[in-house]
A and B are shown apart, each in its own frame.
Chain A
Amino acid sequence: MWQPACKLEQLKARAELYALVRDFFARRQVLEVETPLISRASATDPMLDSVSLNLSAGDAVGPRPFYLNTSPEFPMKRLLAAGSGPIYQICKSFRDGENGRRHNPEFTMLEWYRPGFDLEQLMDEVEQLVLGVLQCSPATRRSYRNAFVEITGIDPFSVSDAALSDLARERAAYNGPVLSRDENLDLLLSVLIEPELGKQGPEFVYHYPASQAALAKVGETADGYAIAERFELYIEGLEIANGYFELTDAREQHKRFKEDNQQRVKLGKPEITIDRFLLDALAAGMPSSAGVALGLDRLLMLRSKLSRIQDVLAFPIERS
């Protein structure tokens, strides 16, 4: 088990991918930045489990809890608020409990922010990056609602909770305790919809239900359903990137943090320290921006035509 899990040629393929990415952003005058992986606060998202650690910061306080970042989002937004202009980062991110053929608890994320961009413009840019890396056909775009209707035959906004549960039981083999509406939607998305996405080239899915906004702004459909200004990119059924038209309202952000923590308590999960620095930065004024996080290990899997994340990692968690 001391040897790398991937073939040695994958080390070179990774280096080439990073060079392509850095060249892409250099040409566009997007600045590469670096932010801490260890923070005193972390993502409150109830479905993300941060890795925590005890660290003595070399002061009189002694060892105290910190987190490893689940993404570099918060400190990068602080840079935006400080006037950095467009920025990107390639860094490790950590998510406890996520392990499988498409997940490793420690993975490499490419995250970038574009002040002045809207969701459409950011999707255009993501597409250009991906086309350059994969040499594939142009991307298509489909709303979350249309993807659901076309693949499952149900409208995710108007369907009843009972009909959703029935579908989860009949077509996703779910037989456990009753799921919430969003859990049912997540289940159907994972089992029925994702495998059908991005079969003929990259596919963007946009306008998620507002309940799944995470850190995106919320809008409304023509017929009055609340939607998140959020997209995901899929290629060959693999989720590659998650983008937002970013929430910049400090008060709304604070409210979401608190609601997340209440939800965490209900789920029996530990509350997460709220990032006061982010709230202060938003209060000071973050420019209107669109931002996206892209899984570089997965992009490398596609570029190298490999189906398991372990095939592109030197030392996945089992060998770490």
Chain B
Amino acid sequence: MASYSTNEFRSGLKVMLDGDPCSVIENEFVKPGKGQAFNRVKLRNLKSGRVWERTFKSGESLEAADVMDYDMEYLYTDGEFWHFMMTDGSFEQHAADAKAVEESINWLKEQEVYVVTLYNGAPLSVSSPNFVELEVIETDPGLKGDTAQGGTKPATLSTGATVNVPLFVNIGEILRIDTRKGEYVSRAKS
């Protein structure tokens, strides 16, 4: 596998650090007037999601991580794994475990396309599109005519996620949800 020198570190580059795949967030070159140059690097550990700060001597190198992002359609879950299929026409399927779908489990909808990150060929993480449209399966009855601001109530969606929605929302309606904040945006236009 290739390796990258500190001066090639760019945001988004995937490298191995302490045995874990990481994504470079930021790379700053520092050098006192005279003397040794260093690179101060921020990386996201792709396994734990944690941000690491590390300082390297300029010119040191790290091994590239075999990490690639693919668009995949969510198919179904068997309770233990969540199954996805490549959208490139290969119909190749990948099974993600609970850890990999942790971030997006609330927003997984069949036939929707997600970004699945493969590490050494296996799903490492699954990220949702910024917005998904999901059906309300349970909520208190809607208040007629109350379309103005004021008051919210919890609603359970088809994925099992609970979000706060305006009082006028009814069971069976499709809502547009911002997955980054886990918030109701609007009723979906159908």
Contact = CB atoms under 8 A, between A and B. Distances in A.
Interface of A: 45, 47, 97-103, 168, 172-177, 179, 182-183, 185-187, 189-191, 194, 212, 214, 232, 239, 242
B7 to A, nearest CB: 6
Contact of B29 (A98, A168, A191): A98
B2 to A, nearest CB: 20
Interface in B78-103: none
B38 A47 contact: no
A239 B54 contact: no
Contact of B33 (A168, A176, A185, A232): A232
Q: Which of B32, B40, B57 has the largest number of chain A CB atoms within 10 A?
A: B32
Q: Which of B7, B30, B59 has the largest number of chain A CB atoms within 10 A?
A: B30
Interface in B48-82: 53-60
Given A47-B36, A173-B40, A190-B38, A100 B30 contact: yes
A238 B57 CA distance: 20
Contact of B34 (A98, A101, A172, A242): A242
Interface of B: 7, 28-38, 40, 53-60
Nearest to B28: A100
Contacts of A242: 33-34
Contact of B36 (A99, A102, A175, A187): A187
Contacts of B28: 100-101
A194 B59 contact: no
A98 B30 contact: no
A216 to B, nearest CB: 10
Contacts of A102: 29-30
8 contacts: A98-B31, A100-B29, A168-B55, A183-B36, A189-B32, A189-B35, A190-B38, A191-B30
Given A98-B37, A190-B38, A172 B32 contact: no
B3 to A, nearest CB: 14
Contacts of A187: 36, 38, 55
Contact of A103 (B29, B53, B56, B60): B29
A183 B54 contact: no
A103 B55 contact: no
Contacts of B34: 45, 47, 212, 214, 242
Contact of A194 (B32, B37, B55): B32
Nearest to B40: A191
